[in-house]
Amino acid sequence: MYIATGAGGLSRSTLLGIGAGIAAGALWGLVFLAPELAPGFLPIQLSAGRYLAYGLVAAILIAPAWGRLRRHLGWPAWRSLIWLSLTGNIVYYLFLANAVQLGGVAMASIVIGLLPIAVTLVGSRDRHAVPLRRLLPSLLLSGAGLACIGWESLSASGPGSAAGLACAFGALVSWTLFAVHNSRWLARIEGISPHEWNLLVGVVTGLMALALAMPAFVLAPGAHTLPAWMQFGALVTTVAILCSVVGNALWNHASRALPLSLMGQMIVFETIFAALYGFLWEARWPSGFETAALALLVAGVVSCASAHRGAH
């Protein structure tokens, strides 16, 4: 499957998959700026708004192909869509929001930063996967990068509570399950493109987000002006289109093109781009530890890609 024909001994499909993974990370990184652009709105309101918009946009885009797609959607497919919507969106966000609230952004970001390592380790157990020993340099580089982020973050704020830590690990497990299940399902579905699969996940997620709407907008509406609500609506719709529709479609393309052991490292780019956007927003240069962290994370991806050269 992965025949060495492209740059660095990687096939063209692998290189395109890596490019799609990087582009997905660049779009996902924008999510971290959303709270800054909507001050005064609760995280649950941002989440409910984003997923409702995601579901609406996805339903509009999927409508023309619905007649064809429903012939490929048996109960196993619907069960997987429900599972992916929960683990990758609803449950993941609820765990993450509580982790940030109870333990702080620093602690939560460090634990979630373990995602690339967790997914890569799971992927190394797949049939025909690259041996774990060839992935160790990449995992060590990624771990060192995360250690730099952790040192920088914890030096500025105290450690989180036990409950916050538990929620952060819950988010880690939830998204790892999503990444693994989504990658394996994409490898076997027929008659449905990665983009269409993402839209189907969006429709199911939008329906589930209706359950978040009550506590988000009725029980805790907040005192916001009409212009603030209009700005909020435009923001969550933009995030839904760029991050959930386009970003997830790119991620699904990468998931179908890359082995899971390499796919895990693509998650690093969400952290990298989120950090870069943060530096631009704060109008500052990264510190020494932050620069080292970004360099190590990129080196980890390069090392992982190198370990997959000639794999087939």
Residue 53 — very low, low, confident or very high, per pLDDT cuts 50/70/90? very high
pLDDT, residue 3, reads: 43
Q: Which residues contact 170 (CB under 8 A, 6 or more apart)?
A: 91, 95, 99
Residue 125 — very low, low, confident or very high, per pLDDT cuts 50/70/90? low
Q: Exposure pattern of 85-97 as b/e (b: 16+ CB <10 Å)?
A: bbbbbbbbbbbbb
Distance CA 178, CA 44 (A): 21
Distance CA 112, CA 95 (A): 11
Question: Is residue 65 assigned to a domain?
Answer: yes
How many domains does the chain fold into? 1
Question: Is residue 229 assigned to a domain?
Answer: no
Most confident residue range from 21-35, 75-89, 284-298: 75-89
pLDDT, residue 155, reads: 63
Quick one: which H or E segment has residue 282? helix 268-282
Q: Which of residues 242 and 262 earns the better pLDDT score?
A: 242
pLDDT, residue 268, reads: 80
% pLDDT > 70, the chain: 84
Residue 86 — very low, low, confident or very high, per pLDDT cuts 50/70/90? very high
**Which residue, chain included where needed, has tokens 């189907």?**
200
pLDDT, residue 63, reads: 94
Residues 275, 280, 281, 287, CA torsion sign: positive
pLDDT, residue 2, reads: 39
Most confident residue range from 30-44, 181-195, 241-255: 241-255
Distance CA 264, CA 115 (A): 7
| Residues recorded for the chain | 312
Which structure tokens are listed for 249? 């479609």
Q: Poorest-confidence range of 6-10, 44-48, 106-110, 130-134?
A: 6-10
Q: How many CA atoms lie within 13 A of 224 on its CB side?
A: 19
Q: Exposure pattern of 151-176 as b/e (b: 16+ CB <10 Å)?
A: ebbeeeeeebeeebbbbbebbbebbb
Question: Is residue 168 assigned to a domain?
Answer: yes
Question: Is residue 20 assigned to a domain?
Answer: no
Question: Is residue 187 assigned to a domain?
Answer: yes
Residue 91 has pLDDT above 90, yes or no: no
Residue 222 has pLDDT above 60, yes or no: yes
Distance CA 239, CA 225 (A): 21
CA separation, residue 197 to residues 50, 54, 224, 306 (Å): 18, 13, 36, 30
**Which residue, chain included where needed, has tokens 């982020």?**
149
pLDDT, residue 115, reads: 77
Residue 236 has pLDDT above 70, yes or no: yes
Residue 1 — very low, low, confident or very high, per pLDDT cuts 50/70/90? very low
E-assigned strands of the chain? none
pLDDT, residue 46, reads: 84
| pLDDT tens track for 32-45 | 777 778 878 887 88
Question: Is residue 141 assigned to a domain?
Answer: yes
Residues 199, 205, 210, 212, CA torsion sign: negative
User: Which has the closest alpha carbon to 81: 169, 173, 190, 207?
Assistant: 207
What's the whole-number mean pLDDT along residues 254-275?
A: 80
Residue 312 has pLDDT above 60, yes or no: no
**Which residue, chain included where needed, has tokens 């990449």?**
138
Range of the domain at 205: 44-216+257-310
What's the whole-number mean pLDDT along residues 158-170?
A: 73
What's the whole-number mean pLDDT along residues 166-177?
A: 86
> Which residue type does 148 have?
C
User: Which has the closest alpha carbon to 212: 75, 63, 54, 40?
Assistant: 54
Q: Poorest-confidence range of 154-158, 252-256, 280-284, 298-302?
A: 154-158
> Percentage helix, strand, coil, to 5, in the chain?
80, 0, 20
Residue 159 has pLDDT above 60, yes or no: no
**Quick check: pTM over 0.85?**
no
Question: Is residue 26 assigned to a domain?
Answer: no
